[in-house]
Amino acid sequence: MLGLMQNWPLLQHKIIDHAAAQYGDQEVVTRSVEGPIHRTNYRQVRERALRVAQRLAKDGVKSGDRVATLAWNTWRHLEAWYGITGIGAVYHTINPRLFPEQIAWIANHAQDRLVLLDLTFVPLMEQVADKIPSVERYVILTDRAHMPATKLKNAVAYEDWIAEVDGDFKWAEFDENTAAGLCYTSGTTGDPKGVLYSHRSNVLHALQACMKDTLAVSATDSILPIVPMFHANAWSLAFSVPLAGAKFVMPGAKLDGASIYELLETEKVTFSAAVPTVWLMLMQNMQATGGKLTTLKRVAIGGSACPPSMIEYFEERGVNVHHAWGMTEMSPIGTIGAIKPAVSGLKGKELLDLKSKQGHAIFAVEMKITDDEGNRLPWDGKKFGRLKVRGPAISRRYFKREDEEILDSEGYFDTGDVATIDPNGYMQITDRAKDVIKSGGEWISSIDIENLAVGHPQVAEAAVIGVAHPKWDERPLLVVVAKEGAEPDRKTILSYMDGKIAKWWMPDDVQFVREIPHTATGKINKLKLRQEFKDYKLPSE
Ligand code: AMP
């Protein structure tokens, strides 16, 4: 027997409809790519998103067609996402930090019909446009006054493009399982893989994200998502912020410490989300200028492990840190470091240790850890295993690779991460499976050592890689970038770490470099780092 409730498909445009109906005057503020601060509201974002939908329909864009965006977080990008999906087409976010050949590969694989791009990326797109024959038109996200001279095919200013229709348009109605968004993983090996979100998965994930013990998004918040819309579905914030009716603040192209600090203060931001490298830039700026955070209450930090020293920095300033973990394939949030009753009594170092873990699974994410044969491992906080997940907003196949099985017999997706889970359900990532250091038959967590090393006052960034060793297979090498003006040596760093981790986890050596290589999503590129140190020999050999 079926239930007798209304069939109301979970479609993304219902979110912007709700925001416009209930919070129509709520502000949407952007540091525009052209320069000035731009202000609009949810009512206008919806009206203009309808124009985008109508304009795309006029161009013959149909349900399932891909429309690429190569853009910063701005109100126009937000309108574009809702407009594209409002006719059943698919927003395809391209990460501009990829190499031009990768961008061409991805756009060809996706068979994008249009590309909507910011002024910043016109020169980049001009380099690759003739390699992407599927694109019929380039829409520059600006107005006529700022329109550059460009040879991009059928280039038009976004404002002129949407002015060609009257906005008298209705969203299409379709099945909630219809594809909505496409985001390619930034795999360091092999071809990028397309993660294809649906309306249902995006709406469900937005609801999950709003929950008090997830991101606690509320209409009384002012929220600055620094995490770009081209990275991992913007941690759902393009959906959860309007869904909750919060003030939406967007940083445009300026992600440096000074610009972010200014926006946090002038727009009275209460909650923000970004990867650790962005927070590091903010911290360095505040240290240099003596800036204070007067409105910020909470931050979500994820994408890479958040070092305990960063958690301490924010919490000493009255800002609650939620360490989060997830991935593009998970829409992307998997776990968050909210406090459960069982651990609510923790204080000091114990609380910091708990907050340094990546947190517990949110509703509709089921987790397990297994050994290499797929046998479940206990949740004892000690045993490391492959972390696997299942849920309604988690990939079951990759785009155009539908014949490849990516789930195990129980329907779990292997995240490629290695983790422990403690008896209270708090998960801690120790490594990517391909980065774990195997020493004397045991695993050493490079993230633990890195977290400790960056706690040293003279260390700006640290990375640990395994180096071949005749007796132990591999031993850890610590690679360090010193803080500006500091000149730490091997001995001071090792003696700082001594006693804080197991003796056999202590790095065999420390090497100083000017820069550690990063991937397009800001993670340490260990593959490249290992290549850079391929001829290196440990002093003990
Ligand atoms: P992406 O799909 O680009 O978001 O990358 C997902 C991967 O980033 C995960 O599989 C993890 O390896 C890593 N990651 C994300 N969040 C964290 C975190 N809080 N701590 C450690 N690694 C993380």
Topology adopted by domain 437-532: GMP Synthetase; Chain A, domain 3 (3.30.300)
**Torsions phi, psi for 171 (to 5 deg):** -60, 150
pLDDT digits (tens, 9 = 90+) for 246-277: 999 999 999 999 999 999 999 999 999 999 99
At residue 36, the 3 state secondary structure works out as coil
**Residue 432 CB–ligand 1 contact under 6 Å:** yes
Residue 540 has pLDDT above 90, yes or no: no
Neighbours of 346 (CB within 10 A): 14
Q: What is the mean pLDDT of the chain?
A: 96
**Residue 328 CB–ligand 1 contact under 6 Å:** yes
- Give the active site residue among 69, 142, 178, 185: 185
In this structure, the chain runs to a length of: 541
Q: Which two tokens stand for residue 517?
A: 């290589």
- Hey, what amino acid is at 423? P
Q: pLDDT band at residue 356, thresholds of 50, 70 and 90?
A: very high
Residue 187 is predicted with a pLDDT of 63
**Residue 398 CB–ligand 1 contact under 6 Å:** no
C-alpha 324: how far from its chain's center? 10
Nearest CA owner, ligand 1 atom 6: 327
What average pLDDT does this structure show over 44-69?
A: 98
Nearest CA owner, ligand 1 atom 1: 327
**Residue 356 CB–ligand 1 contact under 6 Å:** no
Residue 97 has pLDDT above 80, yes or no: yes
The CA-based angle 402-404-408, given to 5 degrees, is: 115
Catalytic, 471? Answer no
Ligand 1 pocket test, pick from 322, 389, 417, 527 with the greatest ligand atom count within 8 Å of Cβ, gives 417
pLDDT digits (tens, 9 = 90+) for 275-303: 999 999 999 999 999 999 999 999 999 99
Domain ranges of the chain: 13-200, 363-432, 437-532
Topology adopted by domain 13-200: Rossmann fold (3.40.50)
Residue 144 is predicted with a pLDDT of 98
pLDDT digits (tens, 9 = 90+) for 112-161: 999 999 999 999 999 999 999 999 999 999 999 999 999 999 999 999 99
pLDDT digits (tens, 9 = 90+) for 306-353: 999 999 999 999 999 999 999 999 999 999 999 999 999 999 999 999
Residue 328 is predicted with a pLDDT of 96
User: Across-strand partners of 167?
Assistant: none
Catalytic, 438? Answer yes
Catalytic, 329? Answer yes
Match 């972390």 to its residue by tokens: 387
Residue 505 is predicted with a pLDDT of 93
Catalytic, 382? Answer no
Alpha helices in 232-326 (DSSP H): 237-244, 257-266, 276-289, 308-316
- Hey, what amino acid is at 1? M
Beta strand pairing call for 509-512 and 473-482: parallel
Match domain 363-432 to its CATH number in 2.30.38.10, 3.40.50.970, 3.30.1360.120, 3.30.300.30.
2.30.38.10
Nearest CA owner, ligand 1 atom 8: 303
Q: At what angle do helices 276-289 and 257-266 cross, to 10 degrees?
A: 80
What average pLDDT does this structure show over 65-75?
A: 98
Residue 541 is predicted with a pLDDT of 56
**Residue 95 CB–ligand 1 contact under 6 Å:** no
Distance (Å, rounded) from C-alpha 393 to C-alpha 205? 6
Nearest CA owner, ligand 1 atom 22: 304
Please state the atom number of ligand 1 nearest to the C-alpha of residue 324.
19
- Give the active site residue among 159, 176, 329, 474: 329
For 153, 192, 239, the CA distances from 102, given in Å and listed in that order, are 20, 8, 28
Q: pLDDT band at residue 383, thresholds of 50, 70 and 90?
A: very high
Q: Is pTM, for the whole model, over 0.85?
A: yes
- Give the active site residue among 131, 443, 483, 532: 443
**Residue 429 CB–ligand 1 contact under 6 Å:** yes
Residue 1 is predicted with a pLDDT of 97
**Residue 303 CB–ligand 1 contact under 6 Å:** yes
For 35, 356, 447, the CA distances from 349, given in Å and listed in that order, are 44, 10, 18
Please state the atom number of ligand 1 nearest to the C-alpha of residue 416.
10
Ligand 1 pocket test, pick from 301, 311, 388, 523 with the greatest ligand atom count within 8 Å of Cβ, gives 523
Residue 342 is predicted with a pLDDT of 97
Distance (Å, rounded) from C-alpha 238 to C-alpha 229? 8
Q: Which two tokens stand for residue 472?
A: 């132990």
Neighbours of 498 (CB within 10 A): 10
Nearest to 248 by CA among 267, 275, 274, 276: 267
For 60, 89, 139, 331, 407, the CA distances from 63, given in Å and listed in that order, are 10, 5, 19, 21, 28
**Residue 186 CB–ligand 1 contact under 6 Å:** yes
